Structure 1
């Protein structure tokens, strides 16, 4: 075989081996979500790749047969025509035996390096960068090779299946996608710039609805604006003016005896028609949605959808009203700082290293604002005040403080055992940043 023929054959072996290396990584690295999207857009090859990923045994058997056979042939061909060439170059400078030995070492090193770089490293790095695009291109030729080599493939597959069964090894990968997987993908998208940070935060907040309970989003009992059923017209109008809301609970004596609710739309209609507002009118009252305080925000959304309501009263296990939640409250959690004015009121950044925080602020919002990874015994409480009580093991008083996550939390103001304000101060100050209000 001439020099040019040997060189052409070695080049062909290297390229074919590179094809098998690329095909292997392209199938393994292809993301099922991306492939399903391509299949939905009409790509038949994407559907074939998805099917092959579910049963990859024959595919990888062909890859290994091709790669190993070509590597052996490449070594034989490379040593066969490179060793004599290097021997002729070295003989004038050393003994023939030494020249032959050194020529073999050089040809072996050169051939091996060519296979490592061209048939292994380069194809695999390219396949890792664009796996789906390459997988749909190589699936056709690979299926043809699988058909041609089917007898050999079946023998190897039988041997592999026997060994896997003997050692009880896993056969298929788990392609199920968990919320953590989605969160990791959105975080990667935000870091790469393909996903806006606000969009990534909204997705994170949606999954957070499954773990956040109602107390983290509700209007607390002492802040609920409500009417008594015998309140006069003038008092009702005055309270609406002072505390405008879309709906108001109506009670008999106190907040724990709810008899219904009225909407601002119904009250406004009476005002426009010059009718007096009398809350003892059964035609004006509506039946309220009452839910337990242990519901998650995701469960609350389901309740809103089933009942066709936009707000609900929250009771504890003793049937006492502890708060009120509206559909807007839940959506404010989802949209985050884009539609959440109460968030600005609860967490105010004083400077680069300190924040003034309301004690009833949900602990999830505190963690997010201060970038704290975790807090102790998080399942036992809902608010920053709960964190302080849990860590102190008593009702905090003014000047009490705890340290966690790189911050010191100091109680600044207490009103009748209610923690009004807490100062969060970073233990290791960050210089060069101007303080601003937390958004």
Structure 2
């Protein structure tokens, strides 16, 4: 049972003294109120999945995740938020801490790009029951699949100060496990891993997110700069989609409303095929909230014989474009139609070049396919800390084995696992292994 600190007063701390501006850190907080227009100016470079608009919608569609954010403020309007959600009971596998130790859900449900793990290890974890793991504090954006900060000021000690404050407060509140599932390999992410490690956590490889720097003067220049094989792949993808009878149109903002339910349905068809915990209501709720707030949301819609059979949702924030949800009716288009590439990797990039944007952040999923078409990978890390210090060494070994399996699923070279932790390293055939 969570104790009163979850809804009780904040816990300020002042890590900087002397002439430096005072930083106040509070744990167990609700989201700061901020409209999308304010996010554009006050959280300019923050990923949309970490902003108040996205997270407020998450809290409506995912009521089982109780907000427990760590907030730092400094001077007027200076803000940093490390999102967190308390999960009291076993959730979908993406948000389940035991998944990241190699536990297999009884339903057989797997995470996207998962690795097949040893059944004996899963049984050993299962035998512990749920008490060592729940309630869990999941750090980051549960439906954005990103563990990161939203911030508009910086100090070298900012991340460490947040972690130093949140961990004891969380454990005092009855949290049994702190899970940071999807930490990107960027400055803030590396600081977060370091700070969690210093507190006794252990980390491992989770996967990759992919991005495309728009360094060429235009789309044609971009194509010309690619190696011949990548250029040929992109052109072949477009030809395949056209040959399949697909037409692509772009619809923006409020014009997306009539298609929200179908977009959510298509996205979840793709999720069911590749493994992920999102449901149509999650996607429809967040997408509607973004439209209501006036976010720059675009829908690329693929039709065949007049029927909507494919979609890709992107969000523009300042100089970056974020493709987020893609969905396909594979029964209508087949497995190798080229529709994915034309809709997700071609049309948005063409538009981003036309608008003078700097980066397309594709995120996780279909990693190999994206790299083969010119994207750059960025590693993501999972960190986990149990409240029970006696269980931490076992959890660290399980986490290492899980990371080895993930690397193998992504085609990376991995060291042999410890003899005491047998591991079957095979790709799940999920989205990250698609070619």
Bin of the TM-score, shorter chain as denominator length? under 0.3
Q: Which has the larger radius of gyration?
A: 1
Q: Kindly indicate which of the two structures has a greater share of residues assigned to strand.
A: 2
Which is bigger in relative contact order (C-alpha 8 A, separation at least 6)? 2
Please identify which structure carries the higher helix content: 1
TM-score by length of 2: 0.21
